[in-house]
């Protein structure tokens, strides 16, 4: 392999896995301040890593048989105008994020949005639809413990009851879905459109098998089954049923968690840092966690800030609301940016205009609502 080819591969890897690279750098830097010792093993939440791996693996298997694509397309074909179709695309992403995690929902349904709008010659709504799907993925996943990676981590770390989790996240969830609906109605005209029928069928046996595995993964998340059982059964079944699904798991995301566990664990052992964050979070955990996401993203914010506060309610809400805002506030946002610019390389500025305005609208609205809600 020539040096230039190798350099190109390295650059592509860095661009595609920026968050993972940053997490690795952050972990390495903190290791100079906190040398390796036996306490490092306590940094890792193995249940969170196992649950995330199991869910991602099964979702990859379902994607490989076009399960979500076929289901979503069938739903979209019911609607006959642009407004309802865009609403359907956004709602599908919103609901999908609750079931298969926000990043997987985007990787599954953004291509569908592109296909629908391109085939019906409604490309003028492409940037808006992608941004709204991104917001829907970030905010839709807030209602379930496995909807967003940071939820899975906090749900496990603080041993939150499922009913309490839903109760905490219900108010911002309701506001989010209301704002999403209003935006789609206001900005998309009810122009007529049609989509060509697709008669491809799903393999019923594989669908049944993968849905059983998905149910197993969800049972692990909800603590119904020990996590090590899923770590044995799911990979073993997929080795025979769909080995490519295991290859397509988002391993950089898992590594990102590993690196941030090290980073957060080390930061919590530095006295100055611990005192600083403890003081900030004591003043306003919700606001600090939202602002933190804008600079270091929501997953690392959840892992880091959880070391300095027991106020998991405000932290949970904050790192979910904080997923909207800047381009780096969420890994899902980076995925959306990559998927849009890959298909529309000359429209980056157009996308960023929509992204900034809409994300700012949601960030300010949700933050203001929750601050007022907490004050009651």
Q: Is 200 helix (H, G, I), strand (E, B) or coil?
A: coil
Q: Give DSSP secondary structure letters for 132-199.
A: HHHHHHHHHGGGSTTTSHHHHHHHHHTT--HHHHHHHHHHHHHHHHHHHHHHHHHHS---B-------
CA dist 179 → 19, 185, 237, 352 (Å): 29, 10, 42, 20
45 assigned to some structural domain: no
Provide the residue count of the chain: 376
Distance, CA of 88 to CA of 354 (rounded, Å): 19
16 assigned to some structural domain: no
Q: Is 344 helix (H, G, I), strand (E, B) or coil?
A: coil
Among the listed residues 103, 65, 69, the one whose alpha carbon sits nearest the alpha carbon of residue 89: 69
120 assigned to some structural domain: yes
In the chain, helix, strand, coil percent, each to 5?
Answer: 80, 0, 20
pLDDT in the model for residue 91: 93
CB 14 within 8 A of CB 210: no
The domain tally of the chain equals 1
Distance, CA of 123 to CA of 326 (rounded, Å): 24
Full-model pTM: 0.78
244 assigned to some structural domain: no
Cβ partners under 8 Å of residue 327, min gap 6: 333, 334, 337, 352, 355
pLDDT in the model for residue 7: 74
107 assigned to some structural domain: yes
Give the HSE-up count for residue 160: Cα atoms under 13 Å, Cβ half-sphere: 26
DSSP state of 36: -
53 assigned to some structural domain: no
Q: Which two tokens stand for residue 89?
A: 């695309």
Domain of residue 174, residue span: 66-201+250-375
Distance, CA of 291 to CA of 304 (rounded, Å): 13
- CB neighbours (10 Å) of residue 10? 10
CB 332 within 8 A of CB 322: no
Q: Which two tokens stand for residue 4?
A: 């230039």
365 assigned to some structural domain: yes
pLDDT tens digits for the chain (376 residues)? 566 767 777 777 777 777 788 888 888 998 999 998 888 888 887 877 888 788 889 888 988 998 877 776 776 778 878 899 899 999 989 988 887 778 778 877 888 888 888 878 888 999 999 999 999 999 988 988 878 888 988 998 899 999 999 999 999 999 999 999 999 999 999 988 776 666 668 899 999 999 999 889 878 877 778 888 989 999 999 999 999 999 988 888 788 878 888 887 888 788 888 888 888 999 999 999 999 999 878 888 898 899 899 999 999 999 999 999 988 888 788 778 878 887 888 888 999 999 999 999 999 999 999 999 998 7
CB 138 within 8 A of CB 330: yes
273 assigned to some structural domain: yes
Cβ partners under 8 Å of residue 114, min gap 6: 126, 130, 339, 343
Q: Is 203 helix (H, G, I), strand (E, B) or coil?
A: coil
Distance, CA of 327 to CA of 354 (rounded, Å): 12
């Amino acid at each position: 392999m020539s040096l230039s080819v190798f350099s190109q591969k390295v650059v592509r890897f860095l661009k595609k896995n920026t968050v993972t690279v940053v997490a690795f750098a952050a972990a390495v830097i903190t290791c100079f301040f906190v040398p390796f010792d036996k306490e490092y093993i306590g940094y890792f939440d193995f249940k969170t890593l196992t649950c995330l791996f199991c869910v991602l693996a099964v979702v990859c298997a379902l994607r490989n048989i076009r399960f979500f694509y076929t289901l979503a397309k069938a739903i979209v074909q019911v609607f006959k105008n642009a407004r309802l179709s865009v609403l359907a695309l956004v709602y599908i992403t919103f609901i999908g994020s609750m079931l298969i995690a926000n990043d997987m929902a985007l990787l599954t349904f953004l291509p569908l949005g592109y296909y629908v709008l391109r085939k019906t010659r409604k490309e003028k709504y492409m940037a808006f639809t992608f941004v709204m799907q991104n917001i829907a993925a970030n905010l839709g996943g807030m209602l379930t413990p496995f909807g967003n990676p940071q939820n899975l981590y906090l749900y496990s770390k603080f041993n939150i009851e499922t009913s309490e989790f839903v109760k905490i996240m219900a108010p911002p969830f309701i506001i989010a879905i209301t704002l999403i609906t209003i935006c789609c109605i206001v900005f998309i005209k009810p122009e007529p459109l049609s989509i060509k029928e697709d008669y491809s069928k799903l393999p019923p046996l594989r669908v049944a098998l993968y849905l059983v595995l998905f149910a197993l993964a969800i049972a692990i998340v909800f603590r119904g089954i020990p996590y090590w059982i899923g770590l044995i059964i799911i990979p073993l079944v997929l080795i025979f049923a769909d080995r490519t699904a295991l290859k397509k798991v988002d391993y950089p995301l898992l590594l990102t968690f590993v690196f941030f566990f090290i980073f957060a664990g080390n930061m919590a052992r530095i006295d100055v840092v611990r005192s600083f964050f403890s003081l900030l979070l004591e003043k306003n955990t919700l606001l600090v966690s939202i602002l933190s996401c804008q600079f270091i993203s929501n997953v690392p914010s959840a892992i880091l800030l959880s070391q300095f506060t027991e106020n998991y309610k405000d932290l949970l809400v904050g790192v979910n609301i904080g997923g909207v805002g800047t381009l780096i506030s969420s890994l899902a946002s980076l995925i959306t940016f990559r998927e849009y610019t890959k298909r529309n390389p000359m429209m980056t500025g157009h996308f960023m205009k929509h992204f900034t305005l809409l994300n700012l609208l949601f960030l300010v609205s949700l933050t203001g609502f929750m601050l007022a809600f907490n004050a009651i």
